[in-house]
């Protein structure tokens, strides 16, 4: 193993997963560095979860190689299990066991000695505000509480690498924000995290993201770099008849996409158009517009340009 390899936690090459004739993951290359939150961003069914399951050894790749924490997967998947934590998309702890029993079960399964077990459980219960809930049945808890329990069990054995599969899909915005703060605490403590999401605001918090569509990686990099390299400018139009304007613009050369956000129309104009604001103002459809202004791109714009019709 070379010196820089230890800074790479996940390395995947030409990863393919076929379910019968359907290619759920289709030629995925990944390099994930240590100490960061790496996000898979994509719509449902784009292969995010399948990709993650291949990285943890739950699925056998049809083609390609995976190396996680220097271990070849799925060959060394069992050794890897001590070093990684995994939080499933749906709550998968035991609803008919209490918080404490669930934590104790998981700590014992990972082979922790009794003394260490007690200490770690009280640590994570304290950190994830579960101490007051310790005798509550997991099945009787709210989405946010369950999510905290799931994260607590996933980090119980102090894994170097944490896989989170759509961790915040069943959680309110407040708990979501709090959850991400906890992830950054973990990263600060030296844990690397791989997370899947279909929320743009979550993806924006990641150090690096891969935009996935139809089993393929469309783009990857830090959100900032991706926005800079988007290949389009974003112009917002305010005024009446935004639906009409959108319909007319969509067929026009130089326009990549247009989407309405409340009282504004957000238009992606291709990079090759030198003056995007002037270009739009010159269009007869925008005569009634009260404001046409170039704005900062966001991750959703990146997503739109990287996937679907925006991709050509």
Please tell me whether residue 78 binds other proteins under the rule CB under 8 A: yes
Q: Give least dist CB 17 to other proteins, A.
A: 8
| The only residue of 6, 31, 60, 119 in contact with other proteins, by rule CB under 8 A | 60
Q: Give least dist CB 156 to other proteins, A.
A: 10
| The only residue of 35, 91, 127, 136 in contact with other proteins, by rule CB under 8 A | 91
Please tell me whether residue 119 binds other proteins under the rule CB under 8 A: no
| The only residue of 88, 168, 192, 286 in contact with other proteins, by rule CB under 8 A | 88
Please tell me whether residue 110 binds other proteins under the rule CB under 8 A: yes
Q: Give least dist CB 55 to other proteins, A.
A: 12
Q: Give least dist CB 82 to other proteins, A.
A: 6
What number of CA atoms fall less than 13 Å from residue 45's CA on the CB side? Answer: 1
Paired tokens of 101: 């029993």
Q: Give least dist CB 105 to other proteins, A.
A: 5
Sign of CA dihedral 93, 137, 179, 46: positive
Please tell me whether residue 184 binds other proteins under the rule CB under 8 A: no
Please tell me whether residue 282 binds other proteins under the rule CB under 8 A: no
Angle between helices 99-109 and 143-155 (to 10 degrees): 20
Q: Which segments within the chain are labelled E, that is strand? A: 8-19, 22-33, 37-41, 63-68, 71-73, 84-87, 161-165, 192-197, 208-213, 216-221, 232-238, 255-261, 264-270, 291-295
- Helix (H) or strand (E) run with residue 78 in it: helix 77-80
Paired tokens of 96: 């008919």
Sign of CA dihedral 127, 133, 139, 145: negative
**Which residues sit at the interface with other proteins, rule CB under 8 A?**
19, 53, 56-60, 74, 77-78, 81-82, 86, 88, 90-97, 101, 105-106, 108-111
């Amino acid at each position: 193993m070379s010196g820089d390899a230890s800074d790479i936690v996940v390395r995947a090459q030409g990863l393919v997963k076929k379910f019968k004739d359907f290619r759920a993951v289709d030629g995925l290359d990944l390099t994930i560095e240590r100490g960061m939150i790496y996000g898979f961003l994509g719509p449902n069914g784009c292969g995010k979860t399948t990709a993650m399951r291949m990285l943890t050894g739950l699925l056998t790749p049809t083609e390609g190689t995976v190396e996680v924490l220097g271990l070849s997967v799925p060959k060394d998947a069992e050794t890897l299990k001590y070093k990684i934590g995994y939080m499933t998309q749906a709550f998968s702890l035991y609803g008919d066991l209490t918080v404490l029993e669930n934590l104790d079960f998981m700590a014992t399964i990972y082979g922790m000695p009794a003394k260490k077990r007690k200490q770690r459980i009280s640590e994570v219960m304290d950190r994830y505000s579960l101490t007051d809930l310790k005798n509550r049945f997991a099945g009787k808890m709210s989405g946010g509480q369950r999510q905290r329990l799931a994260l607590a069990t996933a980090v119980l054995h102090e894994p170097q690498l944490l896989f989170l599969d759509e961790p915040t899909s069943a959680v309110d915005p407040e708990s979501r924000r709090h959850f991400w703060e906890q992830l950054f605490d973990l990263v600060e403590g030296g844990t690397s995290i791989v997370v899947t999401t279909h929320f743009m605001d979550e993806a924006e918090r990641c150090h690096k993201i891969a935009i996935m569509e139809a089993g393929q990686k469309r783009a990857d990099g830090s959100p900032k770099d991706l926005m800079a390299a988007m290949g389009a400018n974003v112009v917002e139009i305010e005024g009446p008849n935004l639906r009409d304007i959108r319909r007319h613009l969509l067929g026009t050369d130089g326009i990549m996409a247009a989407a309405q956000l409340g009282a504004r129309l957000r238009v992606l104009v291709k990079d090759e158009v030198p003056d995007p604001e002037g270009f739009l103002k010159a269009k007869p459809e925008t005569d009634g517009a009260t404001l046409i202004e170039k704005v900062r791109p966001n991750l959703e714009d990146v997503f739109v340009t990287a996937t679907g019709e925006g991709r050509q």
